[in-house]
Protein backbone atom coordinates (compact mmCIF):
# COMPACT_ATOMS: atom_id res chain seq x y z
CA UNK A 1 0.00 0.00 0.00
CA UNK A 2 2.80 2.34 0.94
CA UNK A 3 4.75 1.40 -2.22
CA UNK A 4 1.72 2.09 -4.39
CA UNK A 5 1.16 5.55 -2.95
CA UNK A 6 4.83 6.37 -3.41
CA UNK A 7 4.75 5.37 -7.05
CA UNK A 8 1.55 7.37 -7.58
CA UNK A 9 3.26 10.30 -5.98
CA UNK A 10 6.25 9.78 -8.27
CA UNK A 11 4.00 9.71 -11.33
CA UNK A 12 2.25 12.90 -10.25
CA UNK A 13 5.59 14.54 -9.63
CA UNK A 14 6.95 13.48 -13.02
CA UNK A 15 3.80 14.78 -14.69
CA UNK A 16 4.08 18.14 -12.99
CA UNK A 17 7.72 18.46 -13.90
CA UNK A 18 6.93 17.72 -17.53
CA UNK A 19 4.19 20.36 -17.53
CA UNK A 20 6.61 22.80 -16.04
CA UNK A 21 9.14 22.04 -18.77
CA UNK A 22 6.72 22.40 -21.67
CA UNK A 23 5.36 25.66 -20.32
CA UNK A 24 8.91 26.93 -19.97
CA UNK A 25 9.67 26.01 -23.56
CA UNK A 26 6.53 27.76 -24.72
CA UNK A 27 7.23 30.93 -22.86
CA UNK A 28 10.77 30.94 -24.22
CA UNK A 29 9.40 30.57 -27.73
CA UNK A 30 6.84 33.32 -27.07
CA UNK A 31 9.58 35.61 -25.87
CA UNK A 32 11.62 34.92 -29.03
CA UNK A 33 8.61 35.60 -31.22
CA UNK A 34 7.78 38.77 -29.33
CA UNK A 35 11.35 39.97 -29.71
CA UNK A 36 11.31 39.22 -33.44
CA UNK A 37 8.02 41.08 -33.80
CA UNK A 38 9.37 44.07 -31.91
CA UNK A 39 12.45 44.21 -34.15
CA UNK A 40 10.23 44.03 -37.22
CA UNK A 41 8.03 46.84 -35.92
CA UNK A 42 11.05 48.95 -35.09
CA UNK A 43 12.41 48.41 -38.61
CA UNK A 44 9.09 49.37 -40.14
CA UNK A 45 8.98 52.51 -38.02
CA UNK A 46 12.47 53.49 -39.20
CA UNK A 47 11.51 52.88 -42.83
CA UNK A 48 8.39 54.99 -42.40
CA UNK A 49 10.21 57.92 -40.87
CA UNK A 50 12.84 57.73 -43.65
CA UNK A 51 10.05 57.84 -46.23
CA UNK A 52 8.48 60.84 -44.49
CA UNK A 53 11.77 62.71 -44.59
CA UNK A 54 11.99 62.30 -48.36
CA UNK A 55 8.46 63.67 -48.69
CA UNK A 56 9.02 66.77 -46.56
CA UNK A 57 12.20 67.65 -48.47
CA UNK A 58 11.83 66.86 -52.16
CA UNK A 59 15.02 67.57 -54.05
CA UNK A 60 14.20 65.32 -57.00
CA UNK A 61 13.99 68.19 -59.51
CA UNK A 62 17.45 69.36 -58.45
CA UNK A 63 18.77 65.81 -58.56
CA UNK A 64 17.69 65.47 -62.21
CA UNK A 65 19.43 68.76 -63.10
CA UNK A 66 22.56 67.66 -61.22
CA UNK A 67 22.66 64.42 -63.19
CA UNK A 68 22.35 66.14 -66.56
CA UNK A 69 24.44 69.30 -65.90
CA UNK A 70 26.97 68.68 -63.12
CA UNK A 71 27.58 64.98 -62.63
CA UNK A 72 29.96 64.57 -65.58
CA UNK A 73 32.56 66.61 -63.71
CA UNK A 74 31.59 66.48 -60.03
CA UNK A 75 30.58 62.79 -60.18
CA UNK A 76 27.49 60.98 -58.96
CA UNK A 77 28.92 60.67 -55.43
CA UNK A 78 29.81 64.37 -55.30
CA UNK A 79 33.47 63.60 -54.73
CA UNK A 80 34.63 65.14 -58.00
CA UNK A 81 37.71 63.93 -59.83
CA UNK A 82 41.05 64.84 -58.38
CA UNK A 83 42.75 67.10 -59.41
CA UNK A 84 40.54 68.56 -62.17
CA UNK A 85 37.09 68.70 -60.60
CA UNK A 86 36.60 69.61 -56.95
CA UNK A 87 34.35 67.66 -54.60
CA UNK A 88 30.98 69.19 -53.69
CA UNK A 89 30.50 66.69 -50.89
CA UNK A 90 31.36 68.04 -47.46
CA UNK A 91 30.95 71.69 -48.52
CA UNK A 92 28.26 74.34 -48.76
CA UNK A 93 27.71 75.29 -52.40
CA UNK A 94 29.51 78.43 -53.54
CA UNK A 95 26.49 80.01 -55.24
CA UNK A 96 28.54 82.71 -57.01
CA UNK A 97 30.57 79.95 -58.67
CA UNK A 98 27.44 78.17 -59.96
CA UNK A 99 25.71 81.35 -61.18
CA UNK A 100 28.71 83.17 -62.70
CA UNK A 101 31.16 80.33 -63.25
CA UNK A 102 34.89 80.89 -63.15
CA UNK A 103 36.65 82.18 -66.19
CA UNK A 104 39.58 80.17 -67.40
CA UNK A 105 38.24 76.95 -65.85
CA UNK A 106 35.78 74.28 -66.93
CA UNK A 107 33.22 75.65 -64.44
CA UNK A 108 30.61 77.39 -66.62
CA UNK A 109 28.31 80.27 -65.67
CA UNK A 110 25.06 78.39 -65.23
CA UNK A 111 22.99 81.59 -65.35
CA UNK A 112 23.35 81.16 -69.12
CA UNK A 113 22.15 77.54 -69.12
CA UNK A 114 19.61 77.25 -66.32
CA UNK A 115 16.65 79.30 -65.12
CA UNK A 116 16.94 80.90 -61.67
CA UNK A 117 14.50 78.28 -60.36
CA UNK A 118 16.63 75.48 -61.79
CA UNK A 119 19.70 76.96 -60.09
CA UNK A 120 17.78 77.06 -56.79
CA UNK A 121 16.73 73.43 -57.27
CA UNK A 122 20.15 72.07 -58.13
CA UNK A 123 21.95 74.01 -55.39
CA UNK A 124 19.45 72.88 -52.77
CA UNK A 125 19.87 69.31 -53.97
CA UNK A 126 23.67 69.47 -53.70
CA UNK A 127 23.39 71.13 -50.29
CA UNK A 128 21.42 68.08 -49.07
CA UNK A 129 23.17 65.28 -50.92
CA UNK A 130 25.91 62.96 -49.61
CA UNK A 131 25.44 64.13 -46.01
CA UNK A 132 25.63 67.84 -46.90
CA UNK A 133 23.25 69.87 -44.78
CA UNK A 134 23.09 73.60 -45.53
CA UNK A 135 20.13 75.98 -45.44
CA UNK A 136 17.97 76.15 -48.56
CA UNK A 137 18.62 79.06 -50.90
CA UNK A 138 15.93 81.11 -52.68
CA UNK A 139 15.37 82.93 -55.97
CA UNK A 140 16.39 86.16 -54.21
CA UNK A 141 19.76 84.64 -53.34
CA UNK A 142 20.37 83.79 -57.00
CA UNK A 143 19.37 87.30 -58.14
CA UNK A 144 21.66 88.83 -55.52
CA UNK A 145 24.84 87.13 -56.78
CA UNK A 146 24.24 87.52 -60.52
CA UNK A 147 26.93 89.59 -62.23
C1 LIG B 1 32.72 70.67 -67.29
C2 LIG B 1 32.95 70.34 -65.89
C3 LIG B 1 32.03 70.92 -64.85
C4 LIG B 1 30.66 70.89 -64.83
C5 LIG B 1 29.73 70.26 -65.83
C6 LIG B 1 30.26 71.53 -63.59
N7 LIG B 1 31.36 71.94 -62.89
FE8 LIG B 1 31.38 72.83 -61.09
N9 LIG B 1 33.39 73.04 -61.18
C10 LIG B 1 34.20 72.57 -62.21
C11 LIG B 1 35.56 72.98 -61.97
C12 LIG B 1 36.75 72.70 -62.85
C13 LIG B 1 35.54 73.70 -60.76
C14 LIG B 1 36.74 74.35 -60.08
C15 LIG B 1 36.84 75.80 -60.52
C16 LIG B 1 38.04 76.46 -59.86
O17 LIG B 1 39.13 76.31 -60.41
O18 LIG B 1 37.85 77.06 -58.80
C19 LIG B 1 34.17 73.67 -60.28
C20 LIG B 1 33.76 74.26 -59.10
C21 LIG B 1 32.48 74.17 -58.61
C22 LIG B 1 32.07 74.64 -57.31
C23 LIG B 1 32.98 75.23 -56.25
C24 LIG B 1 33.58 74.06 -55.51
C25 LIG B 1 34.36 74.44 -54.28
O26 LIG B 1 35.39 73.80 -54.04
O27 LIG B 1 33.92 75.35 -53.56
C28 LIG B 1 30.73 74.39 -57.20
C29 LIG B 1 29.85 74.68 -56.00
C30 LIG B 1 30.31 73.77 -58.42
N31 LIG B 1 31.39 73.67 -59.27
C32 LIG B 1 29.03 73.38 -58.66
C33 LIG B 1 28.61 72.89 -59.89
C34 LIG B 1 27.22 72.63 -60.19
C35 LIG B 1 26.06 72.81 -59.25
C36 LIG B 1 27.19 72.19 -61.48
C37 LIG B 1 25.98 71.84 -62.30
C38 LIG B 1 24.95 72.84 -62.38
C39 LIG B 1 28.58 72.13 -61.94
N40 LIG B 1 29.40 72.59 -60.97
C41 LIG B 1 28.96 71.69 -63.18
C42 LIG B 1 33.77 71.86 -63.30
C43 LIG B 1 32.46 71.60 -63.64
pLDDT digits (tens, 9 = 90+) for 30-60: 777 777 777 777 667 666 655 554 445 689 9
Can you give the pTM of this predicted structure? Answer: 0.71
Q: How many whole angstroms separate alpha carbon 44 and alpha carbon 52?
A: 12
**Mean pLDDT in the chain?**
83
State the pLDDT at residue 55. 45
What confidence category does residue 29 fall into, taking pLDDT thresholds of 50, 70 and 90? low
Pocket mutation for ligand 1, best pick of 76, 86, 91, 119 (most atoms within 8 Å of C-beta) = 86
| Ramachandran region, residue 91 (left: φ > 0; alpha: ψ -120 to 50; beta: rest) | beta
Peptide bond into 83 cis (omega under 30): yes
- The response to whether residue 73 sits with its C-beta less than 6 Å from ligand 1 reads yes
State the pLDDT at residue 36. 74
Q: Which atom of ligand 1 is nearest to the CA of 110?
A: 38
Distance from residue 50's CA to the centre of ligand 1 (Å)? 30
Which is more confidently placed, 17 or 143?
143
Distance from residue 55's CA to the centre of ligand 1 (Å)? 28
**Nearest residue to 97 (alpha-carbon basis) of 142, 35, 34:** 142
Give 18's Cβ-side CA count (13 Å radius): 6
Q: How many whole angstroms separate alpha carbon 14 and alpha carbon 10?
A: 6
Amino acid sequence: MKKLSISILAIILAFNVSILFTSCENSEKDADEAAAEMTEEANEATEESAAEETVTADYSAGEAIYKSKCMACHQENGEGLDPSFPALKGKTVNLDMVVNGKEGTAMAAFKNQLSDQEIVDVVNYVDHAWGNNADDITLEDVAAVKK
